[in-house]
A and B are shown apart, each in its own frame.
Chain A
Amino acid sequence: MTATVRSRKSEPTKRAGNGSRPGRHPLAKAPTGIPGLDEITNGGLPRGRPTLVCGGAGCGKTLLAMEFLVRGALDYDEPGVFMSFEESTADLVADARSLGFDLERLSARRQLLLDYVRLERAELTETGEYDLEGLFIRLGHAIDSIGAKRVVLDTIELLFSGLSDAFVLRAELARLFRWLKTKQVTAIVTGERAGEHLTRHGLEEFVSDCVILLDQRVTEQSATRRLRILKYRGSAHGGNEMPFLIDDHGVSVLPITSLGLAHRASTAHVSTGVAGLDGMFAKKGYYRGNSVLASGTAGTGKSSLAVHFAAAACRRGERCLYFAFEESPSQITRNMRSIGIDLEPWIRRGLLRVHAERPTALGLEAHLVAMHRLIDHWQPRVVVVDPVTNLIAVGSEIEVKAMLARLIDFMKLRQITALFTSLTEGGRAAERTDLGVSSLMDVWMLVGNQETNGERNRTIQIVKARGMAHSNQVREFVMTDRGITLVDISRRADGSVAIGAARGAQQEQARVGDRKSSRGRRVK
């Protein structure tokens, strides 16, 4: 059978007469190498075609375009030409250095060619007819000289301020985009947004395959960058706005579409870090890959619970990434030492990493992008977010929920067990989380305070634990200088619970009572 199949010559799958479309697939794509962007475009930008990236001033289009070339050169062996109409070569090199890219080195290796086109109307006299053939020759020569597969034109619209004949320019730009296709280069053309229009001079008319819009907004004093695929001919794409971040690692886009529920459910379990709490779960802990929520009012011991969980992971030799949004790493280690947990050795051995940041330092999206990247990069098995509620301060409720869902899915896919603490404001119903995020969680625990007889005592209870039997009792949660211990709550004869000192008295009474009654029975 194999022979008969082999004897037939396979039909060439390349579409005849369409030289501008290389590759076998009608929609070949060129990966950008930018984390998240390839995911939302299902593989990258249309190969061999121009893509328009537009947005207002300072929205990040130049850096995104530059990273497309740098990643292309480094990761995909596709050299690139960057033709800049705006920034000088020296400025581009300096800007890219802030993202960790060494353009000079790439240029020296002929993986990149930077060309700064300077057109000053004040320095030019125009008389009679002209065209942009010089630009075609210049770009063509640049492409050929390094065998470029990628091209960036940033931003070619500046030609309109350098030259006065808009009619000629439009005709020449239309010709340029057709010509780019014949050169079979994957190109990014940037354009600056102007009011209602995507670009000042209607570049979108010339680019029909893919249009990406960038945006930077300032809400509640924190700037958030967003990216949206406005158009992608012939390809599925998420039409939502996706947050993105530019930092010293370059651009990262955070697709807030759900990753789906395809993850494998593990039957292995991990310890909560507190012996008494393990005992409340049928499997002596959480399932690996679970998302756990511990919510409660201030001072109920949420962070202590989180640290126990982290320390237990380190004792198993697993990496734990601890996101601290309230305290500095040194504050956490000092506080935990007071309840007998020393985190220093774990930090020194590289098993524990505390990433502390004030939530207001960045926008919500920026936080989440940074969290994704840290997790992706460091590959922890256990993650703590303490407290997740501080992220809410920097985003709206719907956004937070969507992004948290994404983060949770992301960790589940990697079988990372995550503990989120959540600060409930006093006076609110205990079983209402600030976010409605409890539905995203597999395990939900409530830690609380009970004020009785002039004492404040901590309690803990399990509200839910998916796929696992668990205790329905409220336990007393005691912090000792050797960590957290859980104590059964004593019940008085009238059914009320005794806690703290009252529990001690009740238990003492019960012991005495037991002795009495047993003595009585013996007498009888």
Chain B
Amino acid sequence: MKNGARGIWRLRLYVAGQSPKSITALANLKRLCESHLAGRYRIEVVDLLNQPHLARRDDIVVVPTLVRQLPVPVRKIIGDLSNEKRVLVGLEVLPRDDKE
């Protein structure tokens, strides 16, 4: 929590077109940010179909991939983000739980 808790969370979501997984992931992300990071997050959606060169530059293989760019260090979460708790732990919004 101490990691940039006061700063802005910059999150980037890599998707491939308007696939169901992409739509679900973005919806899940928005909901989660509103309830936990309201007012201090920014989401950028990168559609790899439109910017294919970014897959190599940012080392993306799986979609959807969520990248936490700020606060550092960079964290990656893959999947449609349907398990809210896992996402929050992965983003380090919540502390890591040993049972997880």
Contact = CB atoms under 8 A, between A and B. Distances in A.
A504 B48 CA distance: 96
Contacts of A127: 77-83, 86-87, 90
A141 B80 contact: no
Nearest to B80: A128
User: What is the interface residue range for chain A against chain B?
Assistant: 20 to 34
B87 to A, nearest CB: 5
B21 A141 contact: no
Nearest to B22: A133
Interface residues of B, number: 33
Interface string B44-68: 0000110011011001111111000
A129 B80 contact: yes
B75 interface: yes
B9 interface: no
A3 interface: no
B61 A124 contact: no
B31 to A, nearest CB: 13
A83 to B, nearest CB: 10
A159 B62 CA distance: 10
Contacts of B59: 117-118
A134 B63 contact: yes
A142 to B, nearest CB: 7
B61 A134 contact: yes
A133 B87 contact: no
A123 interface: yes
A138 B60 CA distance: 8
Contacts of B10: none
Nearest to A136: B16
B87 A132 contact: no
Contact of B55 (A125, A126, A131, A137): A137
Contacts of B80: 127-130
Contact of A134 (B16, B24, B28, B86): B16
A130 B63 contact: yes
A278 interface: no
B35 interface: no
A134 B63 CA distance: 6
Contacts of B65: 130, 134
B16 A137 contact: yes
A145 B16 CA distance: 19
Interface of A: 115, 117-119, 123-135, 137-138, 140-142, 145, 159, 163
Interface of B: 14, 16, 19, 21, 24-25, 28, 48-49, 52-53, 55-56, 59-65, 75-83, 86-87, 89-90
19 contacts: A118-B59, A119-B61, A123-B75, A124-B76, A124-B77, A124-B78, A126-B79, A128-B81, A128-B83, A129-B79, A130-B21, A130-B80, A134-B63, A137-B52, A138-B52, A138-B56, A138-B61, A141-B55, A159-B61
